[in-house]
Structure 1
Amino acid sequence: MAAAPRHPEPEDGLLYLGLMSGTSADGIDAALVRFPAAGGCRFVAGLTHAWEPTLQQRLIALGQGADLASLDELGDLDARIGLAFAEAALRLLDDAGVTSDQVRAIGSHGQTVRHRPMADPAFTLQLGDANRIAERTGITTVADFRRRDVAAGGQGAPLMPAFHLAMLGTAAQDRAILNLGGIGNLSLVRHDGSILGFDTGPANALLDGWCQRHTGRPYDHDGGFAAAGTVLPALLQRWLDDPWFALPPPKSTGREQFHMDWVDAAVAGMPHAPADVQATLLELTAATVAEALLRHQPGTAEVLVCGGGVRNGQLMACLQAHLPKMSVVSSARHGLDPDYMEAMGFAWLARQTLEGLAGNLPSVTGASGPRVLGAIHPGR
């Protein structure tokens, strides 16, 4: 029998847990947060749970367009991903000394294996059986956030601008929140209270993939591999000529569009050193972010960066060079942990769903209206 909704404490005392694995599939981020009655989001604890290597490689391949062998494989993956997410949640609770009855809900993004917002009909698919998470943890779990927005005519992404607006509100000047995960995306928060958000193109997914192929390391620590190379202008232009970059918002993307075969097709027949390609991929990330920001919000005063890219000093310096009139800083400056921002956002989305409140912004996703997102799986 499903447990009754738990409200054992005032809102300040309620804990929520967010789970997120992004395009890079480099680990499951888990964040434990509170939402003070006065507003904002207070980070309590977080960790990144490693994927089992064989499962991780399968997820990356699927994200890049590989086919499933059978419906049996689909069911097996859905169950295994759900169990991995549950394990991440349980590890975080154990590390934080928190019991399941202290957590009102888990918000689980799942793992995207297909995102086709321009198909007819459009669809998006995230795996990670939320029933397994609710059963293993005993905590009410909200999941499958993107498909309702797609059903309403939206892209199903990005969803974080709504969280960014709720947490940061407006300021006297325009500002931007830049997430540098596998894919880059921007939330443009204007001083008049309006907001725009969209994906900008590839980020860590390609940087990590090229680095791992040529150095054996899972990512380019502080951008050192890129710093050893020189940008190849002709190669950069080949990538920039991709028609996706010219599309207007709303727009979103993933490994289906920007994958290692896409990199290789441009590199083929062009003399290059591996470090030069890494430097050019880094320049591509910075240049496409800067172009989008200058086109859609040129008066931005501050760019708050989160996601794994914030740890890449070479990338941050390149962004600042492209945006000399803007301050490019970590989101930590405003009390939002850059490593767990998206996991925190899915905790917030779970809270929105339980309260019957919309989790999308039609101005961002292109949906026909605000929608309550996700499906609720009661805990024990």
Structure 2
Amino acid sequence: MAVKCAIGLMSGTSMDGIDLAVVDTDGIDVLRRGPSAFVPYEAAFRRRIEAALDDAKAIERRDERPGDLADLEREITLRHARAVERFRADFPQAAGRAELAGFHGQTVLHRPEKALTVQLGDGALLARETGLPVVFDMRANDMVHGGQGAPLVPVYHAALARSLPARSARFPVCLVNVGGISNVTFVPETGDPVAFDSGPGNALIDQWVTAEGGVPYDADGMIASEGGVVRAVADAYLDSPFFARRAPKSLDRNDFTLNPAMGMELADGARTLAAVSAEAILAAAAHMPAQPRLWIVCGGGRKNPHIVADLRAGAKKLGGDVMLAEDVGLDGDAMEAEAWAYLAVRSVMGLPLTFPTTTGCREAVTGGVLVGA
């Protein structure tokens, strides 16, 4: 198959900015992972996106844009265009030769039970602004075929796991992405991956320290280091029926709230919610075909030492080891943006993006809309 160079663009449930990355791939193997970058959103723009989540609750059809959503969609798209322009200028030998962009957009609503998912992002406008063909809206076709529309990254996780050197690849491998929402991908040595959202990742912690401490996130877990786990609160979260539900399953950012945590001290809340994130990931092992021998942690949550320590302790009891993405030669910050580049190439090749074992779709299906080609 032909090899393409693509730029992936990701703005995730943490709503902190735009990740960019370059990948060379034939849509099957990851032939080269190139440079990456991050463009943060300023606090005021992040608050604007958070406010848009309330506007989005009124959406009944994917094309509806109530309240500020239409203007916000244009602004998000233009910010992505400026990020691409700077990225290509900074890395002309890699990003400058990109033939394609994979554009996630900003999720503001995800209701799989209604076959409804909304990502703000105008692919046609991005194509015009950058001069690149753009693949976007990659979740919708999965839902048309009975899937949850998430997670989409597992096919890339599987490609990465199978590209690891023999000393690192101890199958079955579980790749864990701790973003605003956490998701897990179980990769057997052969066969399709098994994946699903596992629970809240950083979102509740970020919301908690913003509401109670006036800061956007708990940098390096410093706030949590002053507190302890309030077991009754952690158990209240983990008693949610979501954790007992069999995969496939996915979450909206608003499916878990701060209500059970209210009344705690700031530090205890940060530490307890970190424990919830880790224990939710470990609980996912009950829905996997076998116990992972290796857990590889990526996403912003890998920088929270409490989440990682809790994962290490829990995985050891399950007979597995935990390593950070960088420990096996991967980039834990860029992985989702890399995935969107990889998915864009798979889309134009007509290859499946999702599988019955990852989203619950009836059959393996491709997806995405190509504009500007």
TM-score normalised by length of structure 2: 0.90
Matches within 5 A, 1:137-148: 137-148=130-141
Say which of 287, 301, 311 aligns to 1:309: 301
Find the residue that maps to 1:32 and give its secondary structure. Answer: strand
Q: 5+ unaligned residues in a row in structure 2: which ranges?
A: 60-64, 164-168
Find the residue that maps to 1:198 and give its secondary structure. Answer: strand
Deviation of residue 293 (structure 1)? 1.7
Give aligned-pair identity as a percent.
35
Deviation of residue 361 (structure 1)? 1.7
| Counterpart residue type for residue 78 of structure 2 | L
Indicate the residue corresponding to 1:356 in structure 2.
Answer: 350
Aligned-partner Cα distance in 2 for 1:326–1:64: 40
Find the residue that maps to 1:235 and give its secondary structure. Answer: helix
Aligned-partner Cα distance in 1 for 2:190–2:98: 36
1:266 lines up with 2:281 in the alignment:
no
Aligned-partner Cα distance in 1 for 2:289–2:212: 37
Indicate the residue corresponding to 1:157 in structure 2.
Answer: 150
Indicate the residue corresponding to 2:166 in structure 1.
Answer: none
Q: Does the 8 Å CA contact 1:177/1:186 hold for their aligned counterparts?
A: yes
Indicate the residue corresponding to 2:313 in structure 1.
Answer: 321
Q: Does the 8 Å CA contact 2:56/2:66 hold for their aligned counterparts?
A: no
1:44 lines up with 2:34 in the alignment:
yes
Indicate the residue corresponding to 1:342 in structure 2.
Answer: 336
Q: Does the 8 Å CA contact 2:11/2:19 hold for their aligned counterparts?
A: yes
Pairs aligned (count): 361
Aligned-partner Cα distance in 2 for 1:137–1:163: 25
Indicate the residue corresponding to 1:257 in structure 2.
Answer: 255
Q: Does the 8 Å CA contact 2:55/2:66 hold for their aligned counterparts?
A: no
Q: 5+ unaligned residues in a row in structure 1: which ranges?
A: 1-6
Indicate the residue corresponding to 2:219 in structure 1.
Answer: 221
Find the residue that maps to 2:249 and give its secondary structure. Answer: coil
Deviation of residue 65 (structure 1)? 6.8
Indicate the residue corresponding to 1:365 in structure 2.
Answer: 359
1:102 lines up with 2:97 in the alignment:
yes
TM-score normalised by length of structure 1: 0.88
| Counterpart residue type for residue 365 of structure 2 | R
Say which of 167, 181, 184 aligns to 1:183: 181
Aligned-partner Cα distance in 2 for 1:372–1:38: 13
1:283 lines up with 2:275 in the alignment:
yes
Indicate the residue corresponding to 1:83 in structure 2.
Answer: 78
Say which of 13, 16, 35 aligns to 1:26: 16
Q: Does the 8 Å CA contact 1:301/1:326 hold for their aligned counterparts?
A: yes
What is the root-mean-square deviation in Å for CA atoms of aligned residues? 2.4
Deviation of residue 41 (structure 1)? 4.3
Q: Does the 8 Å CA contact 1:63/1:254 hold for their aligned counterparts?
A: no
